[in-house]
Amino acid sequence: MKSKFIEEKIYDFFNLHWLRPENVAWEVHAYKLISKYLTKNVEKIEVGIGNGITSFIYLGGRFKNSYDWYLNTNTRNFWRNEDIYNANKKIGISKFILKKPETKFSLVIDHKAKLLEQAKEMNISKNYKVMDANNYDLNNKTDLIFSNMLY
């Protein structure tokens, strides 16, 4: 990969993880490993998409500098171990998009509907499905299954 392109991704991930900069090294490394597969036009599924923001960048999307990942969080019950990202404040993520992704997933799944609503705003998949990944049936043809989390 060209160094200018990697520098751009480092910048994108630092902009995204300004509050947790220790995540940047992992995100850039993971991006380098998976991006060549995600940018191909093949049938691809993501299991556990979450809010889709990381995948948006992996697929080639970019946010304006004014976007802040933490705009769409809910910390009210953080101390009760609730997912702060499982919020949907309707901030209009699409208005922060600088560049749309180069390709899309065929299907993304997550067990949290609010997170999928956020992913839909970035238009990173043809289909979105709320379901438990522990019960996913792989009867259809898929060239690539991507997940950045494990059960």
Beta bridge partners of 84: none
Determine the pLDDT at residue 93.
Answer: 84
The region of weakest confidence among 4-18, 40-54, 112-126, 127-141 is 127-141
Q: What is the rounded average pLDDT of the residues 3-16? A: 85
- Give the pair of three-digit tokens for residue 129: 């499905």
Q: What is the pTM assigned to this prediction? A: 0.85
Asked if 40 and 103 touch (Cβ cutoff 8 Å), the reply is: yes
Percent above pLDDT 70 for the chain: 92
| Closest to 24 measured CA to CA, from 33, 36, 11 | 11
Determine the pLDDT at residue 6.
Answer: 81
- Rounded CA-CA distance 146/55 in Å is 10
- Give the pair of three-digit tokens for residue 66: 């004014």
- Give the pair of three-digit tokens for residue 106: 């065929």
